[in-house]
Amino acid sequence: MTLLVFETTIIIVVLCCVISAFSNSVDCPPFELSLWAMEDCYVEACSDDGGILSASLCESCSGDTFLTLLSADRSVVKENDDYCGSCSQLQYTISPTSMFQCQIVTVQQKCFEASECSGSTTVSSSTMLLTLVNVSSFEPTLKPTAQPSTKPPTFLPTRKPTQFPTWKPTEAPTALPTVLPTQKPSFRPTTSYPSFTPTYVPTASPTVVKFNCPTFVASNTNSGSENTVPCNVWACGSDTILFDMCYSASGSLVKEGDPVLSIFDSLDNLLASSSDYAFPSECGNAPYFSFTLPGSPSKCRIYTIKQGCHGMETCGGTLQVSNNENRFTHVPTLEPSLHPSVLPSLTPTQTPSMEPTTSIPTMMPTIRSQTWLCPKYTSSPTTLITADCFVQVCGGDSISIELCSDTDTKCSGNVQLSLSDPAGNVLDTMVGCDACPSLTYKGWGTSTTCSTMKVRQSCPRGGSCASEVIITSETGQAKVW
């Protein structure tokens, strides 16, 4: 009898020691974050009755916060953005168990989108015992501790192991598995042959997007190197584009002369020319060829087709462009004239000549794009800095902001790039160098309505980054500093 009392007393003492290390409310370390940075707070919750676990920033919060609760395997179980104003609070119910046990949950703290925020998260429960866990405790030490922990284990084994293993191989495995496994494995497959009909049947023919560039007339283009007429398209890397001035419902689209077509990227680099291809014999001088754009399918941009004539001749016609990618679209001209003429005159000379310099004027002036490089940016874990580059954009102009050129990647690390308007509002963001992402912005209003935009380069806390931003103006009218 004395021995039983002695054992009971020891058990009570041990449990008291375990419980005394816990609390019903803990405060995570204060945090100050910006952009996409985040901080984790680890909390151990112990109970045999379960209960409601609450994580709140309502008492200490600045900016727009976002809380996420992760389970022991780091899967999302609960998240919240705005609960009390722009501050976050979430509650999660933990189911009761048949015995006292503990589990570790992670409270992930961050700002909503690309903003700045700070605060200190309070984790509480009226029925569970809580304690903060240092993240360094998950890392193994060189030597074991002098005494084992007196806390209950995180995971408890089942009371009684199963008599048979969960998975048992079949006595005679089959060459063809069943489509769906049954609760109890059978000795033979449920079907002797696979289905011949695919789950998804493709359409009879892929969707083809096509359009006609505006009809052009050109002269004195020096085989397409000057005085050309542009036609802009938006397409992506690996797209195959068909250029056709030969076949259509109405026959040849060439109205006059010997046209020459040249394809340029957004940096004004020549990619292909119709003079490098052989056309079908029935097309004569009418260009008909296809070209596959270089680069990744995720890298989309504006390409320019410059339409000219062989030598210094005069030519004209309508170019039909087609592709089997739905993202391929025609980019309209910048601004139509209010009162277009049938045949506009060329720019007059100071002293008029006796005869016109050309019999057929060009339909529209040549638009020259221009490219700038922002100052090189570098950041390391010990020197976290940001770098700003400013660009003035006017109505009718479009700019593209990239970290890669067609031949070179000017980016390393997890660089964060954002575009803000004059009021400081973030219009667009991108992160990383892998897919060579890009930002685009089109100016609004007339050519005299201009806005100064800010391009910011930054690096996440604890990282190393380097970049050199490429800014391209479609009309060449933008200013960068």
* Structural domain ending residue among the three candidates 138, 161, 186: 138
Do 120 and 213 belong to one domain?
no
Classify residue 157: in a domain, yes or no. Answer: no
Do 324 and 380 belong to one domain?
no
Do 320 and 232 belong to one domain?
yes
CATH number of the domain to which 226 belongs: 2.60.120.380
Q: How many domains is the chain built from?
A: 3
CA-based radius of gyration for the chain: 34
Q: What is the pLDDT at residue 341?
A: 54
Q: Which residue has the higher pLDDT, 299 or 207?
A: 299
Ranking 65-69, 189-193, 370-374 by mean pLDDT, the lowest is 189-193
Q: Report whether 415 contacts 473 (CB < 8 A).
A: no
Q: What is the pLDDT at residue 150?
A: 59
Do 283 and 394 belong to one domain?
no
Q: What is the pLDDT at residue 219?
A: 92
Do 55 and 119 belong to one domain?
yes
Classify residue 363: in a domain, yes or no. Answer: no
* Structural domain ending residue among the three candidates 330, 359, 388: 330
* Residues 225-276: tens digit of each pLDDT: 999 999 988 888 888 888 888 876 455 677 788 899 999 998 889 999 988 8
CA angle 454, 458, 459 (to 5 degrees): 170
pTM higher than 0.75 for the full model? no
Mean pLDDT estimate for the chain: 75
Cα–Cα distance, 14 to 45 (Å, whole number): 19
* Structural domain ending residue among the three candidates 274, 306, 330: 330
* Residues 85-104: tens digit of each pLDDT: 889 999 988 887 766 678 88
Classify residue 204: in a domain, yes or no. Answer: no
Do 228 and 312 belong to one domain?
yes
Classify residue 271: in a domain, yes or no. Answer: yes
Residue 308: pLDDT above 90?
yes
Nearest to 67 by CA among 59, 58, 55: 55
Do 323 and 411 belong to one domain?
no
Do 214 and 325 belong to one domain?
yes
Do 384 and 450 belong to one domain?
yes
Classify residue 285: in a domain, yes or no. Answer: yes
Give the residue-averaged pLDDT of 322-328.
61
Ranking 8-17, 148-157, 446-455 by mean pLDDT, the lowest is 8-17
Do 219 and 325 belong to one domain?
yes
Range of the domain at 455: 370-480
* Residues 121-171: tens digit of each pLDDT: 999 988 888 888 876 544 555 666 556 655 566 555 655 666 666 555 656
Give the residue-averaged pLDDT of 354-360.
56
Classify residue 429: in a domain, yes or no. Answer: yes
Classify residue 196: in a domain, yes or no. Answer: no
Name the token pair of 173: 């495995």
Do 50 and 120 belong to one domain?
yes
Enumerate the H helices of 28-166 as residue ranges: none
Classify residue 460: in a domain, yes or no. Answer: yes
The confidence band for 201, taking pLDDT boundaries of 50, 70 and 90, is: very low
